[in-house]
Amino acid sequence: MIVHMLISDGGSLSLAQLPESLQELLTRELGAIRLVDRDTVSAVADEFANELDAVGMSAPGTHDGAILSLADHLSPRLASRLRAQTALVRNGDYWPTIVELPVEKLIAIMANESIEVSAIALSKLPIAKASEVLQKTQGERARRITYAMSHTGDVSPDAVRRIGAALAQDYGTAAEVAFDKAPVSRLGAILNSTVTDTREDVLEGLDERDPEFANNVRKAIFTFKDITTRVKPTDVPNCIRAVDNDVLTKAIASALKADEATNAAAEYILANISQRMAEQIREDAAEMGKIKKADAEAAMGEITKAIREMAETGMITYMEPDEEDEVE
């Protein structure tokens, strides 16, 4: 009666937030009411008003509501995890989260969950996506799931909702990770800052244990020798602009006397800056005496550091090694 009175007066009720079973019960009860005398209506309204007056506090009443209320007062890590849980449900429905999962995760559901749960999940997917998932599910299991779909018609809406909630919790949240970067990126960043001998020794060891990982780490590393194949000619002037002139000259002087790859990197830099500046650097480099290995590596490290910082901020983009021949 209270619901009907509120609706009749133009009130807007968020009944969709109630469990579907309770919404259904409310609909049946309202449908059973016909004529009600004025005294009964007044008595019910008075009783309801008295109950409202007696309320001393109103709490969220749901797990999701509690998360929203407490999120700003919890530790950042826990708050982030709880917010992610809240994001799984939309207007009381968890299935949109499942539907939007990548095919690989949906295939994992088909492989790991019971046949009955898999059949319900497959039934909730759009036709095209369900077809793709089914094609990539192992043959015998796919046949059992499709057969189980014939029995899903008797499953209650509340059961489907609970299944959706469980699947969203298990498959819809990203796993917590201790590091914000992949192992390749982390090791690459460390080796970028080590001396050449240490870096090469580590990479040789990785080659013996895990060649694929070692190859990926090499791609993540940017050293002075990589300038020739990774930096576009048009980006060279901008890359060295932030490097002190004395440091730049020392790096070029030592690189010109080093191995072939390091020498090529120095020549590449000189070839892609103004001719006047290149000649001045060559003259100053020729006048330099013997440079200690540690000082030479530190100077070249300043150049590669400047280049890496520009790449990380998006000011330049590395070339892939096989793009070298395409640059004019």
| pLDDT tens digits along 248-303 | 999 999 999 999 999 999 999 999 999 999 999 999 999 998 999 999 999 999 99
pLDDT for the residue 327: 46
**Res. 117: pLDDT tops 50:** yes
pLDDT for the residue 93: 80
Residue type, 287: E
- The CATH 1.10.220.30 portion of the chain extends over 89-171, 222-326
Distance in angstroms (rounded) separating the CA atoms of residues 15 and 38:
26
pLDDT for the residue 52: 84
pLDDT in tens, 132-157: 999 999 889 999 999 999 998 889 98
Q: By percentage, how much of the chain surpasses pLDDT 70?
A: 90
**Res. 323: pLDDT tops 60:** no
pLDDT for the residue 102: 93
- Worst-scoring range by mean pLDDT, 73-87, 119-133, 178-192, 247-261? 73-87
Class of domain 222-326: mainly alpha
Residue type, 72: D
Q: Is the distance from CB of 112 to CB of 94 less than 8 angstroms?
A: no
Distance in angstroms (rounded) separating the CA atoms of residues 145 and 133:
12
Note the maximum CA span of the chain: 109
Neighbours of 9 (CB within 10 A): 7
Q: Is the distance from CB of 134 to CB of 103 less than 8 angstroms?
A: no
Strand spans (E) along 76-208: none
86 pLDDT band, cuts 50/70/90, is low
**Res. 328: pLDDT tops 50:** no
Q: Please state which CATH number belongs to domain 89-171.
A: 1.10.220.30
pLDDT for the residue 63: 65
Neighbours of 251 (CB within 10 A): 30
The segment with the largest mean pLDDT, out of 127-131, 170-174, 322-326, is 127-131
